[in-house]
């Protein structure tokens, strides 16, 4: 009895081991096929692999609005990729200074950046079009031009020699004209003022008799407080309140003639982007598009609440720039633009597309957006009387 039982057990054990071996071989073969298909389609990285990127910004770390958007973007990418692409955000100065973000992305020091294209005007004159042009497009109009009017293709063309892929990175909407420690009642009051104001608008301000100064956001409070500058434009109530600019300036002017729809940017190192599987490339592009809209939504929701706090709690004096000043700034903007396109063929090409789209979209917005706003004001009255 014992001998046959032992033989049966040994036979059963052999059969179990053989079955396990067949199962292991089948699973191994299936996994090899899956890996082969994955490599062929470029839709995934190997199981467990995490790609780590650095994203450097021109803003102080976690600054509301501007600094919040790259964090929102990184969170979206992490979630959509199930953690396969992990992007860490660095504020200005943590890896590179604010005005070295473009070079850091171009050279591969960081895979991505977040900033404003007009900061690179010195090396790429046509870059100003992709942030803001004085008396130019609103945020809604800029998004239309970029995504459906040929603007994005031009932006890619402009940045290609630097090995950078640009992506729309959020808009502040119409900004404020800025903070001043004296009233502006005429063009004469602008003369001699040292103002932090970047981009093409800086040239216009200097042409009007002021002096434009280029200072990163993290330094403007101290510069205005200590008298290094006499005035500053930053963004609008939501960001300006967060920086405490109401503590060191008395007068707050509108409208934001210089940045009617300031578009920010994500910059991506071209080689780094191309090295990603196709699905992760798509996630980067779609997350930037979502973050772009998210920033505008946030500023729209928070600006007026912040403005009312400045006026009602902190006693800020809200003022409108005089017509004389606005007319002079517009004339100066036309002159600065003429010089820009005369000096740079690429800028001339971009300006042609920009101006044509603005003419077209403005024709409709005069009777749609502006027509409605005028009608609403007529029947509902004015909420804030400066």
Nearest to 110 by CA among 161, 72, 163: 163
pLDDT of residue 382: 76
Structural domain tally of the chain? Answer: 1
pLDDT of residue 62: 87
User: In this structure, is residue 139 part of a structural domain?
Assistant: yes
What the block records as the tokens of 27 is 């699973």
Nearest to 344 by CA among 119, 106, 117, 128: 128
The whole-angstrom separation of Cα 103 and Cα 105 is 5
User: In this structure, is residue 192 part of a structural domain?
Assistant: no
User: In this structure, is residue 123 part of a structural domain?
Assistant: yes
Looking at residue 283, which CATH number applies to its domain?
Answer: 3.40.190.170
Q: State the residue range of the domain holding 83.
A: 51-171+262-298
pLDDT of residue 381: 86
Q: pLDDT tens for residues 263-297? A: 999 999 999 999 999 999 999 999 999 999 999 99
User: In this structure, is residue 56 part of a structural domain?
Assistant: yes
User: In this structure, is residue 293 part of a structural domain?
Assistant: yes
Q: pLDDT tens for residues 325-354? A: 999 999 999 999 999 999 999 999 999 999
User: In this structure, is residue 33 part of a structural domain?
Assistant: no
User: In this structure, is residue 13 part of a structural domain?
Assistant: no
User: Which segments within the chain are labelled E, that is strand?
Assistant: 51-57, 85-90, 112-115, 164-171, 178-180, 194-196, 211-213, 231-232, 251-254, 263-269, 317-320
Show the low-confidence residues of the chain (pLDDT under 70): 1-48, 383-386
Residue 300, Cβ density class (10 Å: 0-12 exposed, 13-18 middle, ≥19 buried): middle
User: In this structure, is residue 115 part of a structural domain?
Assistant: yes
What the block records as the tokens of 40 is 């062929």
Residue 293, Cβ density class (10 Å: 0-12 exposed, 13-18 middle, ≥19 buried): middle
pLDDT of residue 10: 54
């Amino acid at each position: 009895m014992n001998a046959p039982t032992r033989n049966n057990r040994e036979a059963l054990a052999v059969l179990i081991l053989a079955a396990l071996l067949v199962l292991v071989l089948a699973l191994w073969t299936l996994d090899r096929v899956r890996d082969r298909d994955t490599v062929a389609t470029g839709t995934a990285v190997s199981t467990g692999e995490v790609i780590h990127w650095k994203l450097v910004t021109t803003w102080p770390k976690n600054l509301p609005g501007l600094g919040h958007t790259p964090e929102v973007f990184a969170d979206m990418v992490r979630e959509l990729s199930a953690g396969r692409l992990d992007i860490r955000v660095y504020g200005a100065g943590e890896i590179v200074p604010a005005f070295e973000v473009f070079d850091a992305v171009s050279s591969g020091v960081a895979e991505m950046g977040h900033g404003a294209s007009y900061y690179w005007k010195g090396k790429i004159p046509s870059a100003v079009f992709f942030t803001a042009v004085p008396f130019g497009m609103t945020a809604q109009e800029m998004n239309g031009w970029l995504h459906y009017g040929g603007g994005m293709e031009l932006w890619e063309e402009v940045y290609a020699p630097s090995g950078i892929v640009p992506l729309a990175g959020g808009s502040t909407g119409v900004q404020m004209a800025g903070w001043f420690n004296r009233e502006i009642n005429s063009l004469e009051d602008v003369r001699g003022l040292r103002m932090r104001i970047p981009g093409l608008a800086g040239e216009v301000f200097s042409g009007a008799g002021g002096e434009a100064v280029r200072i990163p956001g993290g330094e403007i409070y101290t510069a205005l407080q200590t008298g290094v500058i006499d005035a500053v434009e930053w963004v609008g109530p939501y960001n300006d309140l967060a920086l405490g600019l109401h503590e060191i300036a008395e007068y707050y002017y509108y409208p934001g003639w210089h940045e009617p729809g300031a578009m920010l940017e994500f910059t991506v190192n071209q080689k780094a982007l191309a090295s990603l599987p196709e699905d992760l490339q798509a996630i980067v592009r779609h997350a930037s598009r979502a973050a772009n809209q998210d920033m505008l939504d946030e500023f729209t929701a928070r600006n007026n609440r912040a403005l009312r706090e400045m006026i009602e709690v902190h006693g800020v004096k809200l003022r409108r720039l005089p017509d004389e000043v606005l007319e002079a700034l517009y004339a100066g903007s036309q002159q600065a633009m003429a010089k820009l396109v005369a000096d740079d063929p690429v800028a001339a090409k971009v300006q042609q597309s920009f101006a044509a789209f603005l003419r077209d979209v403005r024709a409709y917005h005069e009777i749609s957006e502006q027509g409605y706003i005028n009608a609403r004001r007529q029947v509902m009255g004015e909420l804030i009387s400066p």
